[in-house]
Amino acid sequence: MVFDFERLLGESVKIHGHLCAGQVLGVKMSILGLSSVGIFDPRGSDRKDILVYVEIDRCATDAIQSVTGCSLGHRSMKFMDYGIMAATFLNLKTKVAVRVVAREDSRDKAQHYFPDIANPYEAQLMAYKQMVGEELFYTMPVTVNVPPEDMPGRPVKRVRCARCGDYVQDMRHVNKDGTDLCKACAFGGYYCR
């Protein structure tokens, strides 16, 4: 199967709510990543064979979700808060994985494609549609060892926090001095009780 960039971009825009350079990058990143690991029908016959690690919470992540069908709710997308415009695509069947990283110099190249467009974001949007993969990204084969508690499917284990009573799934609890705690009780959370 050949990926239809324009159709995938249109679907991504519907989910994200607007067209932007990040959407274009995310769609192209997904096509490159999926192809590199041998996944050609991510929303169909290959849907249970793909796991994606995204490293940024920006527009491209919505595009990656749209193209791959992977999501946090299905546990087939993992968010690694690195702040890098990158994603790793893992074929669970073959264990082949590739990390795709947006090239910083692609921003400058965009201005060369459209020197008459004063707004750099608009120039990027237009140029990214035309630029080929090597101009936009660099890739690296990687190894990803996925522990059982991070695999899609039912929770491996549920533990009740001894302090607040919340249930913690998938081995995300912390044992402090022989007591099972949720991370918020063990280390402090983003919220206060």
Average pLDDT, the chain: 94
The pLDDT, as a whole number, for residue 92 is 97
pLDDT in tens, 33-55: 999 999 999 999 999 999 999 99
Q: Is residue 192 part of a domain?
A: no
pLDDT in tens, 71-97: 999 999 999 999 999 999 999 999 999
Q: Is residue 193 part of a domain?
A: no
- Clarify whether residues 99 and 124 are in a common domain: yes
Q: Which of 139, 116, 112, 141 is nearest to 128 (CA)?
A: 112
- Clarify whether residues 142 and 158 are in a common domain: no
Owning domain of residue 163: 154-187
pLDDT in tens, 126-178: 999 999 989 999 999 999 999 999 999 888 899 999 999 999 999 999 999 99
| Rounded Cα gap, residues 128 and 149, in angstroms | 37
**CATH code of the domain containing 38:** 3.30.1330.130
Q: Is residue 103 part of a domain?
A: yes
- Clarify whether residues 137 and 52 are in a common domain: yes
Q: How many CA atoms lie within 13 A of 172 on its CB side?
A: 12
The pLDDT, as a whole number, for residue 1 is 60
- Clarify whether residues 78 and 165 are in a common domain: no
**CATH code of the domain containing 178:** 3.30.60
pLDDT in tens, 92-136: 999 999 999 999 999 888 888 988 988 989 999 999 999 998 999
Give the chain's domain count: 2
- Clarify whether residues 136 and 158 are in a common domain: no
- Clarify whether residues 29 and 100 are in a common domain: yes
